[in-house]
């Protein structure tokens, strides 16, 4: 059976622009520090009450579906990547299915954080290759602004993340020259706690920056999933060991891109456009240098949107395509690295 190709793509970012300067109202930081360390100038925050991860995903999906020349009723499977779901459960896939009045199709949520969209593309590609589905909606969406610590204590994480959504419709390719050539997925759980949000969770211990994973007091049994203590001690926010993430990312990004190139008998110089997960501009620049890619071979937009985790690859891909930077026949490489750690790449012929 033929591989999948991207038949339609869309993105949505909220209207509300939050600059680095705006963040200085809440925490001890500066535009200079954020730009120098991350490249980020501004990010978007969703409307507090009226926008959720799913509502943003719907806006991106509507565009992708319309560009594919189909209707929501033609979609026969949903793969939804997010780490910031509307509900702890059920997942966002079913909320999107309901809101877009789709048929009673399968809906799968993927919780792979920054690599979620590339994992999702890989899963969808397998279903297309087996002939099981013909119109798969793959979404990456995040509403981070609702769950960040905006005090100085959380500044190393909070300044990085932004909200948004991206979506693609995958269909079987008409020929073997076009579409997804291969996908490559990896994980190493050894450092799972270095970029994580521990609570609420089912682990029988709690996290604090100084104590790491400590046992609960006997008296707390019964309220472990989400305890008052967690809230009082601000243990309900994401934790990130930034330098550790940086060191691993700059090794694994080039590795998984090279793996994709080698699997297809291609070289880095053959890439027309690399879309790296927008983790941090310094990481993307490091990857560009190590692969010896020119500026026109890499697309970055973290400067305007921050790190939107599972949404960052489809948002960057969509924007690059809308700007005419990706044309039919181009070799496009998607690559991501993040919490888990997990990392992945997808090589496709546009
Ligand atoms: N504003 C001002 N100062 C800040 C700050 C902020 N927003 N965040 C942290 N700092 C301070 C720290 O408190 C620390 O101060 P100290 O030296 O007095 O203790 C100092 O800056 C350096 O902190 P450190 O964490 O060592 O900085 P860094 O150079 O590693 O940069 C990151 C921090 C997060 C930008 C960097 O580690 C990084 O980009 N890591 C990768 C993160 C990433 O990509 N995450 C997404 C994964 S998909």
| Structural domains present in the chain | 4-172 (3.40.47.10), 179-192+240-349 (3.40.47.10)
Residue nearest to atom 9 of ligand 1 (CA): 156
Of 69-73, 111-115, 208-212, 217-221, give the lowest mean pLDDT range. Answer: 208-212
Mean pLDDT of 50-68: 98
pLDDT tens for each residue of 16-27: 999 999 999 999
The rounded distance, in Å, linking the Cα atoms of 39 and 108 is: 33
pTM for the structure as a whole: 0.95
Which residue in the list 114, 135, 318, 333 is annotated as catalytic? Answer: 114
> Which is the closest atom of ligand 1 to the Cα of 280?
44
Residue 333 designated active-site = no
132, two tokens: 């099981």
Question: Which is nearest to 245 in space by CA: 113, 349, 126?
Answer: 113
Confidence (pLDDT) at 39: 98
Residue nearest to atom 44 of ligand 1 (CA): 279
The rounded distance, in Å, linking the Cα atoms of 129 and 181 is: 11
Neighbour order of strands in the sheet with 164-172? 4-12, 164-172, 136-142, 77-81, 106-110
Residue nearest to atom 31 of ligand 1 (CA): 37
The rounded distance, in Å, linking the Cα atoms of 64 and 87 is: 24
Whether residue 314 contacts residue 168, with contact meaning beta carbons closer than 8 Å, is answered with yes
Degrees, nearest 5: CA angle 196-220-222: 90
Confidence (pLDDT) at 235: 81
pLDDT tens for each residue of 294-331: 999 999 999 999 999 999 999 999 999 999 999 999 99
Confidence (pLDDT) at 233: 77
Ligand 1 within 6 A of CB of 245? yes
Cβ-proximal residues to 112 (8 Å cutoff; 6+ apart), any chain: 81, 119, 120, 310, 338, 340, 342
Ligand 1 within 6 A of CB of 38? yes
The rounded distance, in Å, linking the Cα atoms of 204 and 226 is: 11
């Amino acid at each position: 059976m033929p591989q999948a190709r991207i038949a339609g793509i869309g993105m949505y970012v909220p209207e509300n622009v939050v600059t680095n300067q705006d963040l200085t109202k809440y925490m001890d930081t500066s535009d200079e520090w954020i730009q120098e360390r991350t490249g980020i100038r501004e990010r978007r925050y969703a409307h507090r009450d009226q926008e959720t991860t799913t509502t943003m995903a719907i806006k991106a999906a509507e565009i992708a579906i319309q560009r594919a020349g189909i209707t929501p009723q033609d979609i026969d499977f949903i793969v939804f990547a997010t780490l910031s779901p509307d509900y702890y459960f059920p997942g966002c896939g079913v909320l999107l299915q309901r809101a877009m009045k789709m048929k009673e199709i399968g809906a799968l949520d993927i919780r792979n954080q920054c690599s979620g969209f590339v994992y999702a593309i890989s899963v969808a590609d397998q279903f297309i290759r087996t002939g099981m589905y013909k119109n798969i909606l793959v979404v990456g969406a995040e509403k981070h602004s609702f769950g960040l610590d905006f005090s100085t204590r959380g500044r190393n994480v909070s300044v990085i993340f932004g909200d948004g959504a991206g979506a693609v419709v995958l269909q079987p390719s008409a020929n073997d020259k076009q579409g997804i050539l291969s996908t490559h997925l990896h994980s190493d759980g050894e450092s799972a706690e270095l970029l994580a949000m521990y609570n609420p969770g089912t682990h029988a211990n709690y996290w604090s920056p100084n104590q790491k994973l400590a046992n609960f007091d006997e008296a707390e049994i019964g309220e472990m999933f989400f305890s008052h203590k967690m809230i009082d001690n601000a243990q309900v926010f994401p934790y990130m060991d930034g330098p550790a993430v940086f060191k691993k990312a700059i090794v694994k990004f080039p590795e998984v891109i090279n793996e994709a190139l080698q699997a297809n008998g291609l070289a880095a110089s053959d890439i027309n456009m690399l879309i790296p997960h927008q983790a941090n501009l310094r990481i993307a620049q490091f990857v560009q240098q190590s692969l010896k890619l020119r500026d026109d071979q890499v697309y970055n937009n973290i400067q305007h949107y921050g790190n939107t985790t599972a949404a960052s690859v489809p948002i960057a891909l969509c924007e690059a395509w809308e700007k005419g930077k990706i044309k039919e026949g181009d070799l496009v490489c998607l690559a991501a690295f993040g919490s888990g750690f997990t990392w992945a790449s997808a090589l496709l012929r546009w």
